[in-house]
């Protein structure tokens, strides 16, 4: 019988809040970080287009189990719309498909913003990762097919006009929920204003629960790796950049357990929560012991039932 081989890489775990540079795809960024840390496992929470920069949370090791909680978090983008042209990709990459000499006034832009706040219906771009009949929309679009993508409901918490650097462009900031396409916002606003538009610049500044101050440029990581005297020094310096896997669970109730209770959870067994202030019900919560994440689960009738367990 064939034996399972050892996993390649180090069993390092944690979140790296990468400041992704323009020109690098999200998958490429994850691969680069995984290589720098020599990590066994890596994944990201929320794709950024190559032309976009900014926050790309990357999970290493055990932190990959918490990715869904970051995926659901609110995101903040600052972006520039170039008026006068609509492009096939709704950004700078694609050819022009519609054009206009009209340019919107500040008043026209501000009057339009409420229409794009709250729950709205939005059609993703033709060049997007949305699946159509089992295939990615961008693959079909690159083959020249006209892709029919159904509109979907997305949530926009706020949409602010930040600046009008010239008559042909506007800088905006949006706080939005999962599944929102900024490129679609630019396209639809351009159509509503009768002037067409596309995203000329895009930067993601926040992915809840992470903050802009936690972002680390890729160049910094590369410099750390390059300047280290040896492998031990390299990994010690890089690992210091990581946030605890539990950083993704902000907002969920934390249950602090004894070592014995933690051991039961790690075996997949539920534990009774004792104490006057112990919660009785919670659809999602996380348990810790000695300051380390033990499990994510639900609290039912005063009992913590694990759904995902973490190694000690």
- Residue 136: burial class (beta carbons within 10 Å; 0-12, 13-18, 19+): middle
Active site residue 49: yes
Residue 159 dihedral angles phi and psi, to the nearest 5°: -140, 110
Residue 114 dihedral angles phi and psi, to the nearest 5°: -60, -25
Bridge partners for 60 per DSSP = 14, 42
Helix 218-227 crosses helix 231-239 at what angle (to 10 degrees)?
A: 150
Residue 86 near residue 98, CB atoms below 8 Å: yes
Annotated catalytic residue: which of 19, 49, 90, 91? 49
DSSP E strands in 179-240: the ranges are 197-207, 216-217
Residue 175 dihedral angles phi and psi, to the nearest 5°: -110, 120
Helices and strands of the chain, counted as H and E runs: 8, 18
Question: CA-CA distance, 88 to 138, in Å (whole number)?
Answer: 11
Q: Is 5 left (phi over 0), alpha (psi -120 to 50) or beta?
A: beta
Q: Name 190's Cβ contacts closer than 8 Å, sequence gap at least 6.
A: 81, 83, 86, 196, 197, 198
Q: Which residues are catalytic?
A: 49
């Amino acid at each position: 019988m064939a034996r399972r081989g050892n996993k390649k890489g180090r069993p390092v775990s944690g979140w790296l809040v990468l400041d992704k540079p323009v020109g690098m795809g999200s998958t490429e960024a994850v691969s680069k970080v995984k290589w720098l840390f020599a990590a066994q496992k890596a994944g990201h929470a929320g794709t950024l287009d190559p032309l976009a920069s900014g926050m790309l949370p990357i999970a290493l090791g055990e932190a990959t189990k918490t990715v869904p909680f970051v995926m659901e978090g609110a995101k903040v983008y600052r972006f520039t719309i170039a008026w006068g042209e609509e492009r096939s990709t709704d950004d700078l990459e694609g050819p022009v498909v519609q054009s206009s000499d009209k340019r919107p006034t500040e008043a026209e832009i501000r009057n339009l913003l409420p229409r794009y706040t709250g729950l709205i219906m939005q059609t993703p771009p033709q060049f997007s990762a949305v699946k159509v009949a089992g295939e990615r929309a961008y693959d079909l679009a690159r083959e020249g097919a006209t892709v029919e993508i159904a509109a979907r409901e997305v949530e926009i918490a706020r949409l602010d006009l930040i600046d009008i650097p010239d008559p042909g462009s506007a800088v905006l900031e949006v706080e939005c929920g999962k599944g929102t396409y900024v490129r679609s916002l630019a396209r639809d606003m351009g159509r509503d204003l009768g002037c067409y538009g596309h995203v000329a610049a895009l930067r993601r500044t926040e992915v809840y629960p992470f903050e802009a101050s936690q972002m680390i440029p890729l160049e910094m990581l590369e410099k750390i790796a390059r300047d280290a005297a040896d492998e031990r020094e390299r990994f010690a310096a890089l690992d210091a950049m990581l946030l605890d896997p539990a950083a993704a669970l902000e907002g969920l109730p934390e249950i602090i357990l004894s070592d014995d209770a933690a051991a039961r959870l790690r075996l997949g067994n539920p534990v009774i929560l004792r104490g006057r202030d112990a919660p009785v019900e919670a659809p999602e919560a996380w348990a810790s012991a000695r300051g380390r994440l033990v499990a994510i689960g639900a609290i039912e009738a005063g009992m913590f039932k694990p759904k995902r367990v973490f190694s000690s």
